[in-house]
Amino acid sequence: MWLKSHILLLYSIASEVWMAKQLDSRRNSPRGLYTVEDGGSAESNRLKRSLYEERSCRIRGCCTGRNDDCGFNVISKAAICYCDQFCTSSSPGPVDCCGDYWDVCDHSIEPTRSNEPWPSPTSGCYKDGRYYGEGAMIKDNCNSCKCFQGLWKCSKEVCLVRQDLIQHINSGDYGWKAASYSQFKGMTVEEGFKKRLGTFPPSRSLLNMREAPGKSLPEEKFPAFFVATYAWPEWIHDPLDQRNCGASWAFSTASVAADRIAIHSEGQITDNLSVQNLISCDTSNQHGCNGGSIDGAWRYLKTHG
Ligand SMILES: *[C@@H]1O[C@H](CO)[C@@H](O)[C@H](O)[C@H]1NC(C)=O
C-alpha cells in the first residue's frame, strides 16, 4: 500500500515537472516578443493589433485557472495570447492575456464559491466578535436581546450595575470609589429593589413618635468618634449576605439584637440569633423575602424571644 502511493506520488511529481518545462518553453518565448512589440509600436501597428486581437477571447471563450489550450495564435506576431485566468497572475504582469481579455473574461468568470453554509451579511448578528443566527437570544447585562433581521432588538431596562455610572463616580471626587460586583450583574434596578433591600418605610404613626423625655444624655456628652466594633470587639456580629432575599428587615434586626444581648450581658451571651426564625415565623404583616418592617421585627422579638 505504502509502495503504491509512493510510486504514484513520484509519478505525479515527475509529470508536474515535465509539464511545467513544456509550458514554460511555450510561454516564455512568445512573451518576450509580445512585450517588446507592445512597448515600442507605431500608431498603425497598434491599431492593427487592437483590431485583430479584440475578438480573440470572444471567439475562443474564457477559461478558469491555468489552461494552456485556452490561447489564441497571433500569427502576425508569432505569439500566443491567452484567455485563461492564469494570464493575469504570471509575472511580470498580464502580458500574455489577449487584448479583449479584460472586456470579455474579467467579469464573466464566476467567483469561487465556498460550500460552507456561511450566512450572508444581511442575516444574523454579531456581539463581541461572535456570530449569532437570526432569532438568537442573548442576555446583555440585565437586558435580553433577540437577533431580528440582522439587528439586535433589546429590552430597555435600567441595570443595577452600570459601567458608565461606575466610571462617572470614580472620575469625580466623592470620597469613595465604586466597583462592579459580579453578584449584581444581570439584575435590573427594579429587581435590585425587590431582592437586595426589603425594609418597608416606617409607618406614619411610627414617624410621629417622640423620644422619652429626660432619659438620654445631652448631645454634647456623646463622643465625637465611636465605632461599636472598637468598643466591643468580640460582641458585635458580622453582617450577613442576604443574597436575593429581600429581607434586610430580618437580617439587620437579628444581628443588632444579638449585639445588644452580648453588650448587655457583658459577653456572657454572644450567640447568633436566627434570621430564618424571623423570616419564617414573624408573618403578621411581614412578607419574608418580599419585605417587612423593622418595628414589626422588634415587636416579634419582644413577645416571642
Ligand atoms: C455566628 O455566625 C457567624 C457568621 O456570621 C459564624 O462565623 C459563627 O461561627 C456563628 N457563631 C456561632 C456560635 O454559631
What's the pLDDT tens digit per position in 235-254?
999 989 999 999 999 999 99
By CB neighbour count within 10 A (0-12 exposed, 13-18 middle, 19+ buried), where does 75 fall?
A: exposed
275 φ/ψ angles, rounded to the nearest 5 degrees: -70, -40
Output the CATH code of domain 197-204+220-304. 3.90.70.10
Report which protein residue has its CA nearest ligand 1's atom 9. 272
Residue 267 region by backbone torsions, left for phi larger than 0, else alpha for psi between -120 and 50, else beta: left
Give 236 Cα–ligand 1 centroid separation in angstroms.
Answer: 11
**What is the mean predicted confidence (pLDDT) over 256-283?**
97
Report which protein residue has its CA nearest ligand 1's atom 1. 272
Report which protein residue has its CA nearest ligand 1's atom 2. 272
Give 285 Cα–ligand 1 centroid separation in angstroms.
Answer: 29
Residue 65 region by backbone torsions, left for phi larger than 0, else alpha for psi between -120 and 50, else beta: left
Ligand 1 probe mutation, 272, 273, 274, most atoms within 8 A of CB: 272
Indicate which atom in ligand 1 lies nearest the CA of residue 238.
5
Q: Which pLDDT band holds residue 269 (cuts at 50, 70, 90)?
A: very high
pLDDT > 70: what percent of the chain?
A: 71
Does residue 72 register a pLDDT over 80?
Answer: no
State whether the Cα torsion 222-224-226-231 is positive or negative.
Answer: negative
Cβ of 203 closer than 6 Å to ligand 1, yes or no, is no
Query: With contact defined as beta carbons under 8 Å apart, do 57 and 101 qualify?
Result: yes
Indicate which atom in ligand 1 lies nearest the CA of residue 270.
13
**The predicted structure's pLDDT at residue 8:** 45
Give 279 Cα–ligand 1 centroid separation in angstroms.
Answer: 18
By CB neighbour count within 10 A (0-12 exposed, 13-18 middle, 19+ buried), where does 287 fall?
A: middle
Q: Which pLDDT band holds residue 108 (cuts at 50, 70, 90)?
A: low
Lowest mean pLDDT among 53-67, 174-188, 206-220, 274-288: 53-67
Q: Which pLDDT band holds residue 78 (cuts at 50, 70, 90)?
A: low
Cβ of 241 closer than 6 Å to ligand 1, yes or no, is no
Report which protein residue has its CA nearest ligand 1's atom 7. 238
Distance of CA 145 to the CA centre of its chain: 13
Cβ of 272 closer than 6 Å to ligand 1, yes or no, is yes
Report which protein residue has its CA nearest ligand 1's atom 11. 272
**The predicted structure's pLDDT at residue 99:** 78
**Cross-strand pairs, 188:** 159
Name the average pLDDT for the chain. 78
Cβ of 238 closer than 6 Å to ligand 1, yes or no, is yes
Q: How far apart are CA 3 and CA 123, in angstroms?
A: 51
Distance of CA 297 to the CA centre of its chain: 46
Indicate which atom in ligand 1 lies nearest the CA of residue 272.
1
Distances (CA, A) of 228 to 28, 124, 273, 301: 96, 58, 18, 22
Report which protein residue has its CA nearest ligand 1's atom 13. 271
Does residue 303 register a pLDDT over 80?
Answer: yes
**What is the mean predicted confidence (pLDDT) over 266-275?**
96
Bigger pLDDT: 117 or 221? Answer: 221
**The predicted structure's pLDDT at residue 289:** 97
Question: What residue ranges do the domains of the chain occupy?
Answer: 9-104, 125-154, 163-194, 197-204+220-304
